[in-house]
Structure 1
Amino acid sequence: MSLIEKNLGLPSAKARRSRIGQQGRTGSLRILRLKEALLSYVFLAPSLLLFGVFLFYPLIKSVYLSLQLTDPRGRVAAFAGLDNFRELFASEKFYQSLKVTLSFTLLTVPTCLILALLLAALSHNKLRGMRVFQFVFSLPIAISVGTGSVIWMMLYHPSVGILNYGLSLIGVAPIGWLTDPAWALLSISVMTVWMNLGFNYIVLLSGLQGVPEDIYDSAKIDGSGSMRTFIQLTLPLISPTLFFSTIVSIIGAFQSFGQIHILTKGGPMNTTDVVVYNIYQDAFVNFRFGMGSAQALVLFAIILILTLIQFKFFEKKVHYQ
């Protein structure tokens, strides 16, 4: 460093070259990060496009239509503001469909989870031939809603159905499984439990198989019985899996439509008219897209609130390893 640079406090040539090199490396690193970000967005573009077309656009369109009135052809006729929501909350039919939906959820979700957990507990042992039972118990997941509904329609048939035939063998009068208001919702619930059993069984079986065998060996050494081990050890260890299955099952129950549309079409006497089927009738049968969109948004809010409540209160009892 020269005397003038030292007296003036100027950096030396070596320090200037080091600073320039550091700035060059910083600029190169910034360009590299920018290229990586652009490349990641390129890979995400197809997924973002699908989400935009099939998720975000329908959501925005529903919000828009919920504020509009439509003509008999389904075209937007006038701005309604919140009138659709006021009419919805003043409608007894909406509260009736909401009551049916809650009853349907209470009938299907706990029953399906208990049965799936029981079957998973009985079949997760590594015994010979257990693979056959695992295949049979998980088979409903491979059957579509339409196919399953047709199968159960034949089972529920009032004259040629095997269920009424079995009742006739023991001297019981035939039951109108899908035509009697006292049995229609229960019949739909039984079919739904069977249809969802495969998914819940596979999820819970995976959770049980993830429990280390050392824990069971330690429990046996301590003299713990099978029931006590299952309640005090197994259930806490698979509580994250149970929590996931519960949330997914409740959301699925609130969105059930196919089996109800095929088997009962909301009848008899609106005993199986759940909220989703009510939305379908208002939007695609009566072409009241504003009212249908309003109901869809209210249903979305209800499902969101229920999910948040579960995360707020029930997640505290979940034991993550």
Structure 2
Amino acid sequence: MQKNTSWKKSKNLRTAILFLLPSIILLGVFVFYPMVKTLYLSVYLTDQLGRPAIFVGFENFSYIMQSESFRKSMVATVLFVLYTVPTGIILALFLAVLANEKLKGIGFFRMIYSSTMGMSVAASSVIWLFLFHPSIGFFNRILMTIGLNEVQWLLDPKWALISISITTVWMNTGFCFLILLGGLQNIDPYLYESSKIDGAGYWYQLRRITIPMLSPTLFFIITISLINAFQTFGQVDILTRGGPSESTNVIVYSIYKEAFINYQFGTASAQAVILFICILVVTILQFKLGEKKVHYQ
């Protein structure tokens, strides 16, 4: 009897491994191998082809920690996260609440609000590049029409990061909106009917029913948005290339420049390790602190 049981367990294990094998291979090639390779290169000086040349231990980490450019990139990254994540989630939540109303023609607005999901980072960035143009850009034309001075959106260090943040919020709104709308539509309508019978108003329902019942979806959106914000690259590369004066040189773009422009793959790998640690810490804190406020029922 015990032999039959152990044989069945062994057979089930082999079957499970067989089904998981494609995923294991893909993760191994595209996730785990690059991760191990990055850790390996972070303790070496490399040649221009990225091959390890001299073992330096933690000197790469010490070097970038003392680098003024790296400190600027960390500050720019933190500011970018603070600019984009709360703004994007609040905007998407506002639009989702509006689009959840049962009104005639609301499907058209749902399509408009979620349409940014269908655009690539490159196409979106090119559109905003023209909108921010200092002479023919739409925003400066509006400012001139109402009698205000032009703004050098992508050329002024004070405005460049804000401009990138506006672009990113617009690009991410569609995804956040769609997820939040799905969460709103999964809330039991009887909860609202019962509260109306008890005399609850709209704002009370929003505060006591909608937000608590939507908290699992909000928790997911906040976590994903934080991770995506730390990994932003495409719009920075197209709009500002990290400038002016490194005001938009977020850490991912700093890694790109260090590796593929300066050919310093060792220090670039060290920056990538630090970025991984930052994202890991933020995600753990999010789960430790944010999950306590999530209502799953």
Please indicate the TM-score interval, normalised by the length of the shorter structure.
over 0.9
User: How many angstroms apart in 1 are the aligned matches of 2:89 and 2:191?
Assistant: 24
How far apart, CA to CA, are the structure 2 residues paired with 1:213 and 1:67?
Answer: 57
SS of residue matched to 1:182: helix
- C-alpha offsets along residues 178-223 of structure 1, whole Å, 9 cap, x if unaligned? 1111110110000000000011101111111111111101111111
Tell me the equivalent position of 1:155. 131
**What one-letter code is carried by the residue in structure 2 that aligns with 1:117?**
L
Shift in Å at residue 32 of structure 1?
2.9
Partner of 2:109: 133
Aligned to 2:174: 198
Query: What amino acid maps onto 2:190 in structure 1?
Result: D
Q: Which amino acid aligns with 1:179?
A: L
1:265 matched to 2:241? The reply is: yes
SS at match of 1:231: helix
Paired amino acid for 1:310: Q
Could you say which residue in structure 1 is the equivalent of 2:186?
A: 210
Q: Cα distance, 1:93 vs. partner?
A: 1.7
The answer for the alignment partner of 1:89 in structure 2 is: 65
Counterpart of 1:286 (choices 251, 259, 262) is: 262
5+ residue gaps, structure 2, are none
Q: 1:294, CA displacement in angstroms?
A: 0.5
SS where residue 169 of structure 2 aligns?
helix
Q: CA deviation at 1:66?
A: 0.3
- Per the normalisation by structure 1, the TM-score is 0.90
Higher relative contact order (CA 8 A, sep 6+): 2
Structure-to-structure mapping, 1:41-120, within 5 angstroms: 41-120=17-96
Count the aligned residue pairs: 297
Q: Corresponding residue for 2:250?
A: 274
* 1:49-100 deviation line (CA, Å, top 9, x unaligned): 1100000000000010001001244332111111111112122221211111
Moved over 4 A (4+): none
SS for the counterpart of 2:182 is helix
Equivalent position to 2:99, from 123, 131, 138: 123
CA distance in 1, matches of 2:50, 2:27: 25
Greater mean deviation of Cα atoms: 38-47 or 298-307? 38-47
Structure 1 stretch 166-175 or stretch 100-109: which is displaced more? 166-175
1:228 aligns with 2:171: no
Residue 120 of structure 1 aligns to which amino acid in structure 2?
A
What is the rounded CA distance, in whole Å, between the counterparts of 1:210 and 1:148 in structure 2?
31
Gaps of 5+ in 1: 1-22
More divergent stretch after superposition (66-75 vs 215-224): 66-75
Paired with 1:41 and 1:142, the residues of 2 have a C-alpha distance of: 36
State the superposition RMSD in angstroms: 1.2
Could you give the per-residue CA deviations for residues 100-143 of structure 1, whole angstroms, max 9, x where no partner exists?
10100110000000000000011112222111111110111111
Counterpart for residue 232 of structure 2: 256
| Secondary structure of residue in 2 paired with 1:251 | helix
Q: Within 1, Cα distance between the matches of 2:9 and 2:51?
A: 48
Structure label with greater radius of gyration: 1
Look up the match of 2:9: 33
How big is the shift at 1:232?
Answer: 1.5
**CA shift for structure 1 position 31:** 2.4
Which residue of 181, 189, 196 maps to 2:165? 189
TM-score norm. by structure 2 comes to 0.97
The offset of 1:41, in angstroms, is 1.4
Identity of aligned residues (%): 49
AA aligned to 1:175 is V
**Equivalent-residue separation in structure 1 for 2:234 and 2:197 (angstroms):** 50
Partner of 1:3: none
